Chain A
Amino acid sequence: MRVALFIPCYIDQFYPQVGRATLALLERLGCEVVYPLGQTCCGQPMANAGCERDALQTYHHFVKTFSDFPYIVSPSGSCVYHVRQHYDVIDQTAVVQAIRARTLELSEFLIDVLGIQAIPGARYPHRVGIHASCHGLRGLRLGPSSELRGSQPPSGIHRLLEQVADIEIVTLDRSDECCGFGGTFAVSEASVSVKMGADRLADHLRNGVEVVTASDMSCLMHLEGIIRRRNYPLRVAHYAEILNTTGV
């Protein structure tokens, strides 16, 4: 299966290990992974701050970069959500429509396209708390929202992590509360943002978590910033890093 890998700007710059883990994981599962070299960003930083107009050239650049692939896979629910939800403001050519339909968050691709239920060989002997990143959860519906009623299966991320050897997934008091990152919100409303992050971390600490994982490195960047400043006994890791472990 030929797929294009989209590594969002902040992962590219600050968390290259998450990009490498995603690439390795996809290759390990037999995909032919192409990383288009000219890629930059999905445009979300501008658009979420109200400057959608300034994001348009980035949208067009994204479309040009990824126009030739059956699937575009990314380890970021938030950026995938942005492409799918907000690229409605540019001309809806066949290419744009195809890109919006085929840009998938990593777990969507693994489960819905590859039909994978477990990563053979993955082992992670730690107590892991799953932070349900909002855009993945309520935007892409990657998992159950605590507000909605009716039967909702656990998230694909949860199901995949459950199959990792020796992992212990910790149940949190609040299953899907926002961490307070929110892009420019983290700066324009820094006090609330930090308080929200600290409260999320308190939930993980209270329940004995060692490693906080998520589908969005941006949430983890914010949470890690608080962890390091306050010297909390916690670490963060993208779930792709956990799935890509070996040891069994």
Chain B
Amino acid sequence: MNQHATKAKAFIQDEARTNWHDEALWFIRAKRDQATALVAEWEALRELASGIKDHVLGNLDQYLEQFSERAIANGVQVHWARDAREHNQIVLGILQQTNATRLVKSKSMLTEECGLSDYLVENGVSVVDTDLGERIIQLREEPPSHIVLPAIHLKKEEVGELFHEHLGTPAGLSDPTQLTEAARHHLRDHLVGCDAALTGVNFAIAETGGVVVCTNEGNADMGVHSAPVQIHCMGIEKIIPRAQDLGIFIRVLARSATGQPSTVYTAHHHRPRPGTQMHIVIVDNGRTEQLGRPDFRNSLKCIRCGACMNTCPIYRRSGGHSYGTTVPGPIGSILTPGFDLKQHADLPFASTLCGSCSDVCPVKINIHEQLYQWRQAVVEAGLADPAKVQTLNLSGAILAKPWWYRITGRLARLALRWAPRWLVYNRWNTWGQDRELPPAPRESFQDWYRKKHKA
């Protein structure tokens, strides 16, 4: 059994919890539906956002250079990282040069992707995530299960236990307001007196050289405002051309993500405050390779709203950790195979190709069609289960020949009709573990039609 299926099966064992997870995410999907219903031009906005991102991907080199020039002119130090290793080294280098040992970090899936925190800790830097959800999973020493709601897999009681252990809250406390208040005090201690603050980037504006960070808690901003060194890490695809384009993306991002009209904070960082440093690290890490794949390049349009996860009926019932990737769910299943097809060969198959992800996507990425294309790539690369491939190979041969098709169909129905139940529902019959097979009629439609037309 593939990795996703195995982990999903384990997740589903606890049916009550699976139902709760499904309902929690469906609630967010419903909020998204309500929020988008209030925007009469919603579909036009999606079209615009998609068009701008397509344009950016077609002219990425020019926009990146323009962005970098403008940022440097603003007094920002710009760094380029080819891969995760270079990215981590650059960040460590900045911290070492400024004698920073206490880093606060917020809202960056890219640093998750690069494994930055572990690298920094190994090199003697203390790293504290200040986004509440991110802090929770950092204390639990586990990866996020969602890109916008990193701790969505946890119940408030579990957070209560965690805070009791690490933050000293009373045992049994599970009231969200009180837990959040405890987290607030805990995080303030780290935010005040930090040496450097790192954030992700939602949008990088080529025209102005500024970066935009969208958050609800404001802790990312608080870190940036209190630290003498601010670092913003971004993938090369975060570019938008002009400041005026930002309005379109701000309007679709939060509505798609959580059903809010906009995030509570939309922070624009253009230049360092007097006496401080501002760094931007621009990271490739496999993105130009993805840009070079015609079938998959537009996956880079993604603005990380997470709507495809909330809507995905498989994600909701298997949990983010079942994907084994930094970005889980439908979008992760088309992005991650580009990094390592062999390791993630199961992910394009963790879908029914229902297409809900593509319809919910605010930048109109054809996610389910790319899943289909990745499946072809997996089989072509010889990474699919050989038994499955042989079966389908044989099916292809039979279904191309009417006579073979009729004989095989007839034999299969005969066998299903006459074989004893224990033989049909054997342990290799995966369909039959929790489902009945369809009834096997004596006559196929074609048999009936032939008889009728002879008579």
Contacts and interface: CB of A to CB of B under 8 A. Distances in A.
B389 interface: yes
Contact of A189 (B349, B380, B434): B349
A39 B409 contact: no
Interface residues on B, range: 35 or more
8 contacts: A15-B438, A40-B405, A61-B400, A134-B355, A137-B355, A149-B36, A177-B313, A190-B434
Contact of A13 (B1, B42, B413, B450): B413
B8 to A, nearest CB: 5
B431 A225 contact: yes
A16 B447 CA distance: 9
Interface in B361-376: 368, 372, 375-376
A8 to B, nearest CB: 10
Contacts of A149: 36-37, 39, 42-43
B396 interface: yes
A9 B405 contact: yes
B256 to A, nearest CB: 10
A39 B402 contact: yes
A188 B439 contact: no
Contact of A16 (B352, B356, B444): B444
Contacts of B440: 13-14
Given A50-B375, A195-B18, A188 B436 contact: no
Interface in A178-201: 178, 180-197, 199
B244 to A, nearest CB: 23
Nearest to B349: A188
B4 interface: yes
Interface stretch (A90-98, A116-124, A139-147, A162-170): A139-147
- Do most interface residues of chain A lie in helix, strand or loop, or is the interface mixed? helix
Given A35-B449, A50-B378, A139-B355, A146 B33 contact: yes
B383 to A, nearest CB: 9
A67 to B, nearest CB: 15
B42 A150 contact: yes
A148 B351 contact: no
Contacts of B384: 49-50
A13 B398 CA distance: 14
A46 interface: yes
A150 B45 CA distance: 12
Interface in A222-240: 222, 224-226, 228-229
A94 B352 CA distance: 32
A37 B450 contact: yes
B448 interface: yes
B426 interface: no
Contact of B431 (A40, A190, A195, A228): A190
A196 B313 contact: yes
B375 A134 contact: no
A184 B313 contact: no
B9 interface: yes
B379 A48 contact: no
B360 A147 contact: yes
Nearest to A45: B395
Interface string B389-407: 1001101110111100100
Given A16-B447, A45-B395, A185-B352, 9 more contacts: A19-B449, A37-B450, A45-B399, A49-B379, A138-B356, A182-B352, A182-B353, A189-B314, A228-B436
B438 A14 contact: yes
A178 B351 CA distance: 10
B359 interface: yes
Contact of B436 (A54, A178, A229): A229
B240 interface: no
Contact of A12 (B33, B359, B436, B444): B444
A58 B311 CA distance: 34
Interface string B27-44: 000000100110100110
Contacts of B376: 47, 50, 52
Given A40-B399, A225-B431, A138 B43 contact: no
Contacts of A127: none
Given A37-B402, A51-B379, A134-B352, A191 B12 contact: yes
